[in-house]
A and B are shown apart, each in its own frame.
Chain A
């Protein structure tokens, strides 16, 4: 990369199970207004492109970025919408600046999960001929993946539940999180069983909210902030659609996406070179499986890694110090929130959840059920 791209500002709304006080537009505006105020940027003068993430089916709005054209600075200007996880908007926003077409890009994601039904939306992601009729949603598909992963590597329910214990505990330090608490493995395993082996406390709760983030070219970034967070590496990759077309305990797409990102960032051993990871723990088992896909430990080793305290808040490689998705982040906003949290860590602005000496971070987001599409981004201070 001849030119470098940096995250120069981030803002998040308060996340809540039900933001009846705000429409999608107003939620998005809350985040945009905050990030513009924080960075001192002016829409007309400074921002020349907007990339957003939202979904028509979640919003109940045909072409869901119609909801946000005005507040995202899209009026008579360039604006594009990814119908994917928010992490891919950071990926594509970076590409737009690297292409030389844009200098400064607003990245935005919003969803109000409260105004629809996640099972119905999730079910529509299964192809309409064979699998949709079975009534699958992301949770029941995730349950199959969790079961396969646990069975293949002998992972115990207590090890998976420990992810929720860690992340809900980390979330106590995060003022934006709404799902948090000091809980025990027993509490998690006693919460209602939603789809065996996934318990209620092991899945990301329904949440409303928005995140905004600003990307800038190197020249522009240095004018905006003293704490730019550089995009060091990027990778995206698709996996198979049909659950039966792959071993669900494998994560080929994540491996390939992380290899692309590590190569670009010049990372040879992520365990030694990375200070923290913010990843998509939509379900507790995913934190373990994705850590293996990211190459942080050997196959089937993530349960023991967690037990050793390696990924704890004060461990050698903290994973989801923000509390992750289990702490309450809306669908589609998930990956953008991971990028925002990792950027705050590197900026040194993460408040009570600050990891000391955070210089390099891995961000992971995924779209679809059981990780059908993965996006990996490496962020760095230098």
Chain B
């Protein structure tokens, strides 16, 4: 990038299954106000506003045009990007491009979803090809059921390992005041929860949440002049997998897949050889438990087939050596258009030391975040407290 870009503020709404007290505009406005307060700014300080949201989930076309009153875009530059589950990260990347281009100095990035206003399962089945895939589609649960089966069959992982991830997420969420599913559950509770599609049970899956996240990005001057703890964006990478590679989550595939392709490019850019040591915390986008274990492997935190052992040994707990999703992650809070941005904002809070109850108990200087959407799409963003990395 031609100019350095930092996260200089951010905020999120509380997340819940029902937000009958607000409409979409009012809900997003909560996150915008929180972000402006965090950055000690007003809309006058913001040069452009970028919005990410999936219009099908609420059945509203051109949501960005409706949101103007809630996001301060009346008379201001801005754009809307929609790339599915990855969009929250894509918006942050777009914000970074805007600032690096030299045309804008401070950009407000917004991701949101009000899932109660649509039928998430039906709409996620609409991801599949209308002629060749849609009649077989089973929403997100269907995709991750295939993934989980393949993983268990190949590596000998058990349903208990999935349950451990489910418990870790919801127990971490109890420490996060903004999280949706703050559940005091045990492995037995998960194994006794309703089966959705083998091996995915209700508690193995993310919820449908309502909520919004907003992040303010600034150029180096704004960051240094106006922010006590800027968090620098050090690398970004996007990788989309085309829809017809149907072995997409057969875990034995030898083909380069989206997650590994992006991780390789980010690590090359930053000179990372041992990601588990280089990064102090990870916030990954795990719509289902099995996805989290595969992220460990695809990001090179452990070898292939060892993700579930990492969970078993408690290495990725909030106080473990490689904390993953101390916020509770997507398994605890999933408002699709905001979920990927929330990974970035939560990672930034960890680096700032401002995560509160779910702050990891060690020094955090570097973090890696992932996104998950589309037909296996991701965006990786690496953050640091320093520009020297």
Contact = CB atoms under 8 A, between A and B. Distances in A.
Contact of B103 (A57, A61, A66, A98): A98
A136 to B, nearest CB: 12
B97 A99 contact: yes
A260 B126 CA distance: 39
A101 B56 contact: no
A46 interface: no
Interface residues of A, number: 60
Interface stretch (A232-240, A303-311, A344-352): A232-240
A97 B104 CA distance: 14
A156 interface: no
Nearest to B97: A99
A251 B193 CA distance: 56
A213 to B, nearest CB: 17
Nearest to A70: B242
A336 interface: no
B241 A80 contact: no
Interface string B293-316: 000000000000000000000000
A127 interface: yes
Nearest to A1: B102
A240 B70 CA distance: 11
A81 interface: yes
Interface in A75-105: 75-84, 88, 91-92, 94-96, 98-101
B91 to A, nearest CB: 10
Q: Which of B58, B75, B244 has the most CB of A within 10 A?
A: B75
A185 to B, nearest CB: 33
B123 interface: yes
Contacts of B82: 56, 63, 81-83
A57 B53 CA distance: 13
B188 interface: no
Contacts of A239: 68, 74-75
Interface of A: 1-3, 55-57, 60-63, 65-66, 69-70, 74-84, 88, 91-92, 94-96, 98-101, 121-122, 124-125, 127-129, 234-241, 252-253, 256-257, 260, 264, 367-368, 372-373
18 contacts: A61-B126, A62-B124, A66-B129, A75-B241, A75-B242, A76-B241, A79-B83, A79-B240, A80-B81, A80-B93, A83-B82, A98-B2, A99-B3, A101-B1, A125-B62, A128-B60, A237-B75, A252-B75
Nearest 3 A/B pairs, CB to CB: A99-B100, A62-B126, A98-B101
